[in-house]
Amino acid sequence: MTAEIICVGTELLLGNILNKNAQYLAQQLANLGIPHYYQTVVGDNVTRLKQVVEVAIARSKILIFTGGLGPTPDDLTTETLADLFGVPLVENPEILEDIARKYAIRGRVMTPSNRKQAFIPQGATVLPNPAGTAPGIVWSPTSNLHILTFPGVPSEMQRMWQETAVPYLKTLGFGQEIIFSRTLKFWGIAESALAEKVSAFLNLPNPTVAPYASRGEVKLRICAKATSLAAAEELIAPIAQQLQTIGGLNYYGQDDDSLASVVGQLLQQANATLSVAESCTGGGLGQMLTDVSGSSRYFMGGVISYDNQVKVSLLGVDPQALIQEGAVSSTVAAQMAQGVRSRLGTTWGLSITGIAGPDGGSPTKPVGLVYIGLAQANGTVQTFEHRYGQDRSRSLIRHLSACTALDALRRKLLDSQF
């Protein structure tokens, strides 16, 4: 029995609001193990709403509506459904009483238009709305078809979902099986390359494995269907283990892990501290590191050496190197990393200098050219050159630079464990 989400509202078609309801309901359906293959958005229009419902009935058995339950004339979900199934609307005295009571509490007078909200299709059951005036319905107009309606206001919809819809869906036998997923995260490998390496896993029936990519990061989502969380985890664990092994050093963490949180854990395991020197990222690397609560245990701080003078005065970069090799060079990256490490007295010093664009590039040093420096306690310093390409945005080049710097340190910390 599969579900379909139908969101009703012209404001969605105009792009005035983001459809967060669809995402919430999608997650909830997954948790209950209810397959869900389609989502539709349609405006406040009877003809088009009817057409959408007719299409949905032919392919789905549980229809979940959001929106169109309010008191105004353009709220027409309930009427349209009743009309479509040839059932009259009947006034429900409990709803009427509930609306009147809620208006009284707020010191407002109920208007005739509110009375409209008390009419539901004959044979439907009220889905109470504890947080607002517009109730929904639960209705089986034909055998093996289940209709649930919710208001469009996310807070009301979510409370109704939890308090009344979930218990109802459980009486239909759902929620016995759950869908649980784990996401493995990789850095330093392209989506296509990783997908080829793990191609044998991409057609598994349960758990399924699917690759995603965004802003330089590649993810593999392992998704299991099982009768309990423990059973789902048991299905996932051996697959996750194999995928991690295939990913090798490119695998860095899972689910809520970030490169910064993983680096933080490795630093703490090694009893080590970190400082940063940033040019083109302008503080973005420090911000990523301090996004992690508790990062003060290993992150001491750093220098934003945006201007060359600051590279000299606060980091001790050689002015000759700036003149001869330029601020965006391996030499300057190395000196920045060493400078911040020695001045802040940390185990590691990590630096970034590059050209984030859109201006500032040259034929020999194009936009997207970035140097990362990594200085360590024994006095050695390594540098890494990256070319992110001139077709990427300033924001993306800065993001990739900070992530790649963290990744360089992560690999080094892992190396030193062996």
The span from the CA of 17 to the CA of 12, in Å, is 6
Strands 125-127 and 136-139: antiparallel
The span from the CA of 164 to the CA of 18, in Å, is 25
Give me the least distance between CB of 214 and its own copies, in Å please: 7
Give me the least distance between CB of 299 and its own copies, in Å please: 6
Q: Which of 148, 178, 184, 223 binds its own copies (CB under 8 A)?
A: 223
Locate 161 and state its tokens.
């979902």
Work out whether 18 is an interface residue with its own copies (CB under 8 A).
Answer: yes
Residue appearing with tokens 């302008």: 282
Residues 250 to 289 in contact with its own copies, rule: CB under 8 A:
275-276, 278, 280-287, 289
Work out whether 410 is an interface residue with its own copies (CB under 8 A).
Answer: no
Give me the least distance between CB of 305 and its own copies, in Å please: 5
Work out whether 361 is an interface residue with its own copies (CB under 8 A).
Answer: no
Give me the least distance between CB of 221 and its own copies, in Å please: 7
Cβ distance to its own copies smaller for residue 20 or 170: 20
- What is the CB neighbour count within 10 angstroms for residue 153? 18
With b for 16 or more beta-carbon neighbours within 10 A and e for fewer, the 355-393 pattern comes to bbbeeebeeeeebbbbbbbbbbeeeebebeebebeeebe
Cβ distance to its own copies smaller for residue 89 or 210: 210
Question: Given 3-state DSSP classes, what are the helix, strand and coil percentages for the chain, each rounded to the nearest 5?
Answer: 45, 25, 35
The burial class, CB within 10 Å (0-12 / 13-18 / 19+), for 396 is: middle
Give me the least distance between CB of 123 and its own copies, in Å please: 27
Give me the least distance between CB of 325 and its own copies, in Å please: 18
The span from the CA of 289 to the CA of 285, in Å, is 6
Give the binding range for its own copies (CB under 8 A) out of 232-240, 262-270, 374-382, 391-399. Answer: 391-399
Give the binding range for its own copies (CB under 8 A) out of 35-43, 76-84, 161-169, 373-381. Answer: 35-43
Q: Which of 299, 339, 376, 407 binds its own copies (CB under 8 A)?
A: 299
Per-residue binder mask for its own copies (CB under 8 A), 173-212, x = binder: ------x-x--------xxxx-xx--x--xx------xxx
DSSP string, 347-374: SEEEEEEE--SSS---SSS-TTEEEEEE
Give me the least distance between CB of 175 and its own copies, in Å please: 16
Count of residues near its own copies by CB under 8 A: 118
Q: Which of 171, 173, 378, 391 binds its own copies (CB under 8 A)?
A: 391
Cβ partners under 8 Å of residue 248, min gap 6: none
The span from the CA of 342 to the CA of 377, in Å, is 9
Give me the least distance between CB of 367 and its own copies, in Å please: 11
The residue type at 18: L
Give the binding range for its own copies (CB under 8 A) out of 41-49, 140-148, 240-248, 375-383. Answer: 41-49
